[in-house]
Amino acid sequence: MLGILGGMGPLATADFYRRLVERTPADTDQGHLPVLMWADPGVPDRTAALLGNGPSPVPALVEGARWLQRAGASCLAVPCNTAHAYVEQLSRATGVEVLDMIEAALRAAVERAAGAERVGVLSTRGTRLAGLYERAGDRIGVEVIQVSERVQREYVDGAIRAVKGGAGGEPAEEWIASAAEALKDRGAQVIIAACTEIPLVSRAAARVLPLVDSTEALVDAALSRLWGPDPEDFVPGNGGGRLSSSTRTNLAGLRES
């Protein structure tokens, strides 16, 4: 049973669940994962807390995790990159297993760009300040590249705010594409959309460099951890056909890690 600790933000949580259903290698309703969802948009802002401008989200995260545990969740997916700054505290308080979205996204990036060593990251200020991708990069041996402060302020922050406010569209797409160009100029070989709002406005950025969706990486981690039958046997949306070789490789890598 997968527990989704969501609401950060609501659209990103809905996007995660939709992708989970679409990517699950099942050909009937009964083949899908049982899922419990706690989606609390009242969780204090993670970036504001990390910047010292707001209350800690930990109590709200612990409340949601404990509810999911009591309801029967065997592990949790948290479809919010910045919230992973608090996963260690969450695990200590509850003993719950939390899937590692950050490392899953980095490993997917290395696979996506055939052994890339320099991975660009588009994230919130909180994720950046916490060094989440940098620490994971050190563990697996890749260099993480961030945009400049100006690009973060003018393009990335603005795009994230637009999506959270329900006003994504063309301007936000252009801002994220400009940020992707800046990462390419800094030597990035592949980009991670490392905020769960960014994949919703990343189509133009994906034409600049190969782009990995952190939401999709978390979906694959959940499937690798919890979905029962051999994932080579089916492909989503294809009436029970086979998975692509790239998806099989990604799932196998996540199982081994």
Is the Cβ–Cβ distance between 13 and 39 less than 8 Å? yes
Q: How far apart are the first and last CA of the chain?
A: 21
- Output the CA angle 134-215-105, nearest 5 degrees: 35
Of the candidates 2, 231, 216, 217, which has an alpha carbon nearest to the alpha carbon of residue 97? 2
Rounded Cα–Cα distance for residues 231 and 227 (Å):
8
Q: Which of 80, 101, 122, 145 is catalytic?
A: 80
Residue 191 tokens read as 């980009």
Q: Which of 195, 198, 211, 221 is catalytic?
A: 195
Cis peptide leading into residue 253 (ω within 30°): no
195 labelled catalytic = yes
Of the candidates 43, 46, 34, which has an alpha carbon nearest to the alpha carbon of residue 2? 34
75 labelled catalytic = no
Catalytic (active-site) positions:
80, 195
